[in-house]
Amino acid sequence: MDSLSSKKYNKDFVDSFNGDHSGDLTSRQTPGVLYSKALPTAVKNPQLIGWSDDLADQLGVEVPSEDDVKVLGGNFVTPTMYPYAACYAGHQFGNWAGQLGDGRAITLGEWLTPKGEIWEFQLKGAGQTPYSRRADGRAVLRSSVREFLMSEAMHYLRVPTTRALGLVTTGDMVMRDMFYNGNPQYEPGAIVMRVSPSFLRFGNFEMLAARKDIANLTKLVNWTIDRYYPHITGEDRVIRWFKEVVEKTAQLIVEWLRVGFVHGVMNTDNMSVLGLTIDYGPYSFLDNYDPEFTPNTTDLPGRRYAFGNQSSVAYWNLGCLANALVPLFETTAPLVEAVESYQNMFWQKYYVMMGNKLGLDEVRDSDLNFINQFEQMLSTVEPDMTIFYQLLSELTSDKITDEDIVIHFKEAFYKDLSLDARAIFLQSMKAWRERINSNRISKEESLKKMSETNPRYILRNYLLHKAIEELERGENQLFLRLQLAMKNPYSRNFDEFFMKRPEWATQKAGCSMLSCSS
């Protein structure tokens, strides 16, 4: 085990590519470089409030000492660190935004684990960088708690994700306009240390292509393959790499849909080339099942990033990455073919996932229509998604009357069923039972599939909101309880969180809709 403050950090990315080494934090364009040196700005009083023990054990990181907390707060940079902010671009809400970059994230260095894995350690909220534009590079407690808890919750839900190691308050107040509506307020500042094998995004490649920097584009693609896809060799390795990115992205979206996750801001600069969930901002899980739900106020009224649109947006984003790679190919045909493969790949993975959620032995051709109609029922009835699937697995054969079935699922309903909705619901329950009875596996095997696929607990926005309010009052009981529960989302040990969103949270700021500043 090594400490954050004494470990020798690597800097292979820095050594491999051109960067701006001036340390100038003035907001500006940085052509010709892939990163800019950016030292964290010291804070008043960093205090550790969150730590991921299991992740620390995996990485070989000691429990933080006083000096380590200074590292987490950006107040101490070790001699082997080379803090930098990455330069990248992106399409935001479907429009080309040009240079973006790490506006409030600073990578400290690369950590070598006892198993020989390399992870990037990054502070989010540690101060201004050349890519902060008009912002201060800081983060508030609200957004930092959300990223810290959600990164770890997604990992234990078995959704590919970046991770969060530590969380500190800074002792400073930060001005934020939570909903961009002209009502800025001071909020407590905080910094989260997030870690990942890489934070490379589609936008890193888009930036180089837009600047016609083909030499660095070629170099970055080859470096990425060598480092993260070393099994890919041969003259055709670039297209094979891109095909793997397509597949990883399809799998990622399927996992999001499995647990009801809505990212909220699927810009190309928020898409990982490792197929990880990256950049937790105005995210949410579905409460009531609504494919048109978006948690992001900035996404209104178009709802581009709504729950039901995430697959098509990923497809669009992959097209943007493919466009960035065009200079590396003699013809666009291989890239077009690879992008077009996404649709079949996604739907094949999606139906397998849905078959598991429903406890099917396999997904037969005849099941596709059944699954589609089942989802249409969910859109009509809008039960709580998480609770509904838990209750579905508990629907026993002795509940045979229509009234028995409706009562069984009552806990998942947010409103009384209309006559039409009740009829559609009962028809779907009948169809599900008939399909389950045709399984070629035992009931126990079917239930096992459902229990491994459907979480019992999710990190709901209203719970996060309550935990944040308590932390702002100096209390951490709910925060710690949520951290523990989210490590066991398929268990039955935390049933105080097995409940649907309360009515008061429907319109409560920070519980239903959030902004990109969240």
| Residue numbers annotated as active site | 269
Residues 6+ apart with CB under 8 A from 345: 246, 247, 250
Which residue bears the tokens 């989210």?
A: 486
Tokens of 46: 């960093």
Q: How many CB atoms lie within 10 A of CB 211?
A: 17
Task: Return the bridge partners of 2, or none.
Answer: 61
Q: How far is CA 233 from the centre of its chain?
A: 30
Residues 6+ apart with CB under 8 A from 52: 152, 163, 164, 165, 166
Helical axes 310-325 vs 333-357, angle rounded to 10°? 160
Which 3 state secondary structure label does DSSP give 170?
strand
Tokens of 428: 């779907």
Q: Which ranges constitute the DSSP H helices of 394-418?
A: 402-408
Which residue bears the tokens 């992008």?
A: 339
Cis omega (within 30 of 0) for bond into 489: no
Task: Return the bridge partners of 132, or none.
Answer: none
Q: How far apart are CA 434 and CA 32, in angstroms?
A: 62
Residues 258 and 250 sit within 8 Å (Cβ to Cβ): no
Residue 194 phi/psi, 5-degree rounding, is -110, 150
Residues 6+ apart with CB under 8 A from 49: 167, 168, 169, 190, 471, 476, 479
Left if phi > 0, otherwise alpha if psi is -120 to 50, otherwise beta: which for 107?
A: beta
